[in-house]
Structure 1
Amino acid sequence: MFAGRLLDVVMELLSSLRSMDPGTVDQEYNAVRSQTSVLKRDLGLTTEAGALKENIKKNRYKDILPYDQSRVVLSLLTTDSDDDYINASFIKGALADRRYIASQGPLSSTVIDFWRMIWQHDVKVIVMACREVEMGKKKCECYWSPVHQSAAFGPFTVYTQGETHPNEDLVVRALTVSYQQVTRSLVQYQFLSWPDHDVPYEAAGVLDLLERARNSQGTHTSPMLIHCSAGCGRTGVICALDYIRDLLVTKQLTGDFSIMKIVLELRRQRPSAVQTKDQYQFIFTAVAFMLEQALQAPSQPLYSNRAELTKRPTRTPASSTKRQSQLTDMSDTYAVVNKSKQPHPPQPGPAYATVATPRTNSGSRTVPASHHYDNDSGGAPIYSTVKPRIKASAPPIYDIAAPTNQRQGEGPLALSNNGEYQLLPAKRLSQTDDDYEDFSSSVTDMTNLCSPGGIGFNCRIQKPRGPRDPPAEWSRLER
């Protein structure tokens, strides 16, 4: 696949990525954040359309608005009340005939606009990097139908021809959409293992997703639609990796290749693209893995060996989704108190706690710096933790009610004088706090987060009156 100078460039890049100091990556990410503000000012980037009174409710998050200079303008009008606004941005690709639409996940009030955009630009492939509900919050409205059924979204009729699960991370749906007696086909790839504000546990699954999406795209010149919830963090990472993949496949990699430059170019077109430091670090990890695969099979198309991709996981400072499922001692339960705006330093706690800990080459575990967002303003701990006393006669009971993207710095435990753990109260977010998402300052209904499911706990618990007097709802399943 590579020869001469290009082979030397690829090997040099791979060596550089492998030896990259985490501190250097942190410095680069901080530079990305600071230069983003400079780019916005120097290029005169504005968000006036998204801030209009008639459009403000069409934005899932009040601080993620598309730039007027790169936003998708809807020209297909299906009713007299339609306008041209949708929270989505065009992003240029590495090749002239390839580009992306980076979009927020549609709201119930913007699903028709979402399909207007798909029809107008003849989208053939959709990459969905989120679930419909995460952490008990609606992250994306369902814009497709159940398998072998139809659903109407205004003048558009969507039919799901089939649904497959190539692996535990991915759902592939074959869709058809009809409008004014014309029917088109498209494919949706939903990646399930990517927690919000976090990164996947391994790079192989994401690279496999990119290969499948590109195979479906084929020679179509229509833009690939990529979305998560806000259309910036996870969406930005996918755009960056696919952009770099195209550079590699078309042999455009040069010695001055820079991930930082690519991310800055994305941010010039879509606000907050690649939103956290962990997401930025994940690009380095995935690109290194991408180059390894290309060098190991130079005569094969990039990523063609899916079996090899799956069996060679790349550990990253990533999500606790799969890591948590591998723990053998999960007898502790979690009470969700509030969504943090900025993780606190780690507190002494039980040994089982799942924190984002990348593995170094020596196999040791290191605790990375906390997440950084473009619009951090501080906040309170995310979870408070309760450690119930375990009866010697009862086997451990596993509680899976903990959210999947649990962060470092969760609510601490305090050891009382009698040797038992007590639940420390979590601070409540103030009304002036402003973060990536508008979160409620209290959690009164936990029905959407988890369900008892016969595991012996009812997640809709009230505030404990003390460690010796737990709520009546906290009952164990006696065997």
Structure 2
Amino acid sequence: MSHNLDAARSFLEQLEEQGGLKEEVLAAEFSDIRVRSAAWKADGVRSTEVGSRPENIQKNRYKDVVPYDQTRVILSLLQEEGHGDYINGNFIQGADGNQSYIATQGPLPHTLLDFWRLVWEFEIKVILMACRETENGRKKCERYWAQEHKPLQIGFFCITLTKETQLKADIILRTLQVTFQKESRSVHQLQYMSWPDCGVPSNPDHILIMVEEAHRLQGCGPGPLCVHCSAGCGRTGVLCIVDYVRQLLLTQMIPPNFNLFNLVLEIRKQRPAAVQTEEQYRFLYHTVAQMFYSALQTTSPHYQNLKENCVPLYDDALSLWTSPALLALPRPPSGVLRSISVPGAPTVPMADTYAVVHKRRAPAGAGPVAQEHSTEEKPLYSQVKSRTQRPGAQTEDKRVSLPGRVPANQSPAGPDAYEDVTEGAQTGGLGFNLRIGRPKGPRDPPAEWTRV
């Protein structure tokens, strides 16, 4: 276990030495990844001959995303009925060296049967979908699952919807019953609804919850996870790598020389354009750093106080940043990290009015007797409203700014916004009206605890 954590700590220390997640550093890394990936085809390291054949070209959603021959998924089911062996999909090795993932494109109208052939032949139990059917007015994926009370017949396959639940605000879990030649199987689909094409989610927490739920549903089944978006490369690659690193953590197999740059290159050798944009690459770095922080905080006293609160790690995924003093801070730079295995409890809204207990204080210079007989004592209790409801709430905050603090007027939530502290906070003592200030921006130092 110590070697596993040493590797995680070493990764974070290297980030610190590089100045954190600096945009220019990651831009240079990702540019190098793209150059090396392009050279593989030119040098004959990777080929796409099968997917470029005339009979298969129409089965590719995008002409520039064609599966590598070396790792492509070969279909044998229903070949005797005249169906070919081609589908736009690749196997990707997992942390254990097995073929843990099938990365594929979202089905087209004429590849729906091929998709279900893949699911059935390779005993897929869980499908991770990282796109919507339509995005920005363009069709991104054909619906291959049944709707309520509307069974779907695709060739020899009959698909019915058994159950549909909203796992999170942006995650839908569907349980499908698939019947082929009088045999029925259950297939689970997890669809992430708010991941923009060529972009990143607003927060990594739900991505971690999604892959965690996928493994819970998968159990000890032999089949790989089927992962797709529209093209099956950008968002799909991010999901595969997040799950890959999570498995390294859980099995305590993080290599001493763990390097995200090399890992992305290795995944790209198996599926073209996996992790498609620089923004996705930055998001991947940030998510992996969060997972490593979470692992360290449960075992190292130095990271124990990271558990005090569970606020989002960042508000803007376009502003990923790590503090130059990454490992010296008692808390992470923009909030407190969530455990990768135990989602936080739902937040309970605070009331608008609070009761405050006032301490009895003697006038300056007065002794105990004067304090006892003071006739101008303040009431023991009083009421205060939240800052947003007090008179003059819109006035500029006069507090002294801490070094490195973003000016208050740059905060999208306003100068006096605050976050409720109810989700797993360890307050200690009475803790009346304990609050934490909302971070003023991605470079804001850790928020300070304040009392009303």
Instruction: Name the TM-score, length of structure 1 as normaliser.
Output: 0.63
Output the CA distance in 2 between the equivalents of 1:360 and 1:16.
20
Q: Which runs of 5+ in 2 are unaligned?
A: 301-306, 320-411, 413-439, 446-452
Q: In the TM superposition, what is the alpha-carbon distance from 1:186 to its structure 2 partner?
A: 1.4
Tell me whether 1:14 sits opposite 2:15 in the alignment.
no
TM-fit CA distance, 1:283: 0.5
Cα 1:122/1:175, change in 2 over 3 Å = same
Equivalent residue number for residue 260 of structure 2: 259
Structure 1 segments of 4 or more deviating over 6 A? 307-310
Mean alpha-carbon deviation: is it higher for 309-318 or for 101-110? 309-318
Query: Does structure 2 retain, via aligned residues, the 8 Å contact 1:150–1:159?
Result: yes
Aligned residues of 1:98 and 1:221 also touching (Cα < 8 A): no
C-alpha distance in structure 1 between counterparts of 2:308 and 2:136, whole Å = 32
Decide whether the 8 Å contact of 1:145 with 1:158 is kept in 2.
yes
Distance, in Å, in 2 between the alignment partners of 1:143 and 1:297 is: 41
Number of the residue aligned with 2:168: 167
Note closer, same or farther for the CA distance 1:34–1:147 as it changes in structure 2 (3 Å cut): same
Deviation at 1:24, TM superposition (A): 1.4
CA distance in 2, matches of 1:263, 1:311: 29
Aligned to 1:314: 314
Give 1:274 shift: 0.5
Map Cα deviations across residues 290-342 of structure 1 (whole Å, 9 max, x no partner): 1122223349xxxxxxx9997434345349xxxxxxxxxxxxxxxxxxxxxxx
What SS does the aligned partner of 1:27 have? helix
SS at match of 1:152: strand
3-state DSSP of counterpart to 1:59: coil
**1:163/1:69 CA distance change after superposition, 3 Å:** same
Query: 2: CA distance between counterparts of 1:22 and 1:235?
Result: 23
Structure-to-structure mapping, 1:438-449, within 5 angstroms: none
Q: 1:360 aligns with which of 410, 419, 442?
A: 442
Contact residue 131 and residue 196 of structure 2 kept, 8 A: yes
Higher relative contact order (CA 8 A, sep 6+): 2
1:24 counterpart SS class: helix
| Structure 2 equivalent of residue 347 of structure 1 | none
1-side partners of 2:31 and 2:234: how far apart? 16
Q: How does 1:23-422 map to 2 (within 5 A)?
A: 23-42=24-43, 44-77=45-78, 80-97=81-98, 99-298=100-299, 311-318=311-318, 359-362=441-444
Aligned counterparts of 2:186 and 2:309: Cα–Cα separation in 1? 29
Secondary structure, counterpart of 1:106 in structure 2: coil
Report if aligned partners of 1:91, 1:100 keep a CA contact under 8 Å in 2. yes
Instruction: Determine helix, strand or coil for the equivalent of 1:86.
Output: strand
**Separation of aligned partners in 2, 1:95 and 1:270:** 18
Could you say if the C-alpha distance between residues 318 and 171 of structure 1 is closer, same or farther in structure 2, counting changes exceeding 3 Å?
farther
TM-score normalised to the size of structure 2? 0.66
CA distance in 2, matches of 1:310, 1:95: 31
Measure the CA separation in 1 of the matches of 2:107 and 2:88. Answer: 9
SS in 1 for 2:95: coil
What is the Cα-based RMSD across aligned positions, in Å?
2.6
Bigger shift: residues 122-131 or 12-21: 12-21
Distance in 2, matches of 1:310 and 1:159, equals: 39
Offset from partner CA, 1:415-460 (integer Å, 9 cap, x none): xxxxxxxxxxxxxxxxxxxxxxxxxxxxxxxxxxxxxxxxxxxxxx
Matched residue SS, 1:269: coil
Alignment CA distance shift 1:66-1:97 (3 Å): closer
Range with bigger deviation, 82-91 or 307-316: 307-316
Report the CA distance shift for 1:218/1:203 in structure 2 as closer, same or farther (over 3 A): same
**Partner Cα distance (1:120, 1:48) in 2:** 23
- 1:78 is displaced (CA, Å) by 6.2
3-state DSSP of counterpart to 1:99? strand
Higher share of residues assigned helix = 2
Code of the aligned partner of 2:59: K
2:279–2:318 contact (8 Å) kept in structure 1: yes
What is the one-letter code of the residue matched to 1:317? A
Q: 1:262 Cα shift?
A: 0.7
Identify which range, 248-257 or 185-194, moves more after superposition. 248-257
Deviation at 1:109? 0.4
